[in-house]
Amino acid sequence: MPSTYANLPIRLGLAMWSHNHWQQSVYGSGCKPGDRLARYAEVFHTVEGNTTFYATPGSPTVKKWHEATGDHFRFTFKLPQAITHQNQLVHCDQLLADFFTTMAPLEGKIGLWKVQLPAQFGPAALPALEKFLQRLPASYPVGVEVRHPAFFAKGEEEKQLNRLLIEHGANRIIMDSRPVFAAPPTTEAVIDAHQKKPKVPAHAIATAARPMIRFIGHPIDASNDAFFANWLVRLPQWLRDGKEPYLFIHTPDNNHAPELATRLYRLLQQKAVDAKLPDVELPKAEPDPQIALL
């Protein structure tokens, strides 16, 4: 994808860049595993970097990631679990500094640093989140994902969270798991998703400039359209407001996530045309013509 896409109105991506099932769809038969990120970055505009949650990569790996992607591409890396889950954002200054030092070569390609918090991180812990956000460099784009039920109850505790995020320019990450929970648990992948994915309401709020949606899809592509309909309204509105949304598409086993992403993106492109969005031309999210996604 050309570097002229450095400032996209919206960024589309998947939950990973390396998946064996995508060999014939995204990569092509001749693509080696080491070249997958480069090929992925020619098709999609961003990616969820979940591996950093489990372990900080070595400096050579970070350098390879930088070399494999153009200036247009954006990573959204999770902060290590030692920071978010084990320490729950306290007593972690050195851990955070070490992580950012290692990831520094990619600083210009970061869409969001993802702060994914555990379900037990509730309203009583908001002072820790506030102090944590205050310590981050103001130039670092941040997304916060919460899972405690109180933050989805539309009460004062959720309002307090949203006010805190707005004050510090942090994006509230939106998990839309409605589609996958609408699927009957008749396959191993769906059963696993039902066990691991949070079943929380999808509150479509933009607390900062880069709202992020994690859309956990139904295994039947067409069954996702009804759930995506509200995003066909919300995303154009965010574009009108000058925001840069991030849209990540998952499926239970992610085998056909590229196909679903392409389907939903085409719906969004048509909606943008119908809405007559000013000066907004959504880029194509298509693979090489010789590699058919659909």
The pLDDT value given to residue 284? 52
Cβ–Cβ < 8 Å for 178, 202: yes
Say how far apart CA 250 and CA 246 lie, in whole Å. Answer: 13
84 inside domain = yes
The pLDDT value given to residue 211? 97
36-43 and 59-68 helices, crossing angle to 10° = 40
At 278, is the pLDDT very low, low, confident or very high (cuts 50, 70, 90)? low
Structural domain boundaries enclosing 68: 3-274
Residue 3 has pLDDT above 50, yes or no: no
Residue among 235, 213, 237, 217 at smallest CA distance from 225: 217
230 inside domain = yes
292 inside domain = no
286 inside domain = no
Residue 1 has pLDDT above 60, yes or no: no
The pLDDT value given to residue 250? 96
- CB proximity list for 94: less than 8 A, separation 6 or greater: none
Residue among 184, 179, 183 at smallest CA distance from 263: 179
The domain tally of the chain equals 1
The pLDDT value given to residue 174? 98
Structure-block tokens of residue 109: 């390609």
Residue 283 has pLDDT above 70, yes or no: no
pTM across the whole model? 0.91
Cβ–Cβ < 8 Å for 109, 74: yes
The pLDDT value given to residue 272? 77
35 inside domain = yes
The pLDDT value given to residue 30? 85
- What is the Cα Rg of the chain in Å? 18
The pLDDT value given to residue 280? 52
294 inside domain = no
288 inside domain = no
Tens digits of per-residue pLDDT, 83-131?
999 999 999 999 999 999 999 999 999 999 999 999 999 999 999 999 9
287 inside domain = no
CATH of the domain at 218: 3.20.20.410
The single-letter DSSP state of residue 23 is I
Say how far apart CA 164 and CA 162 lie, in whole Å. Answer: 5
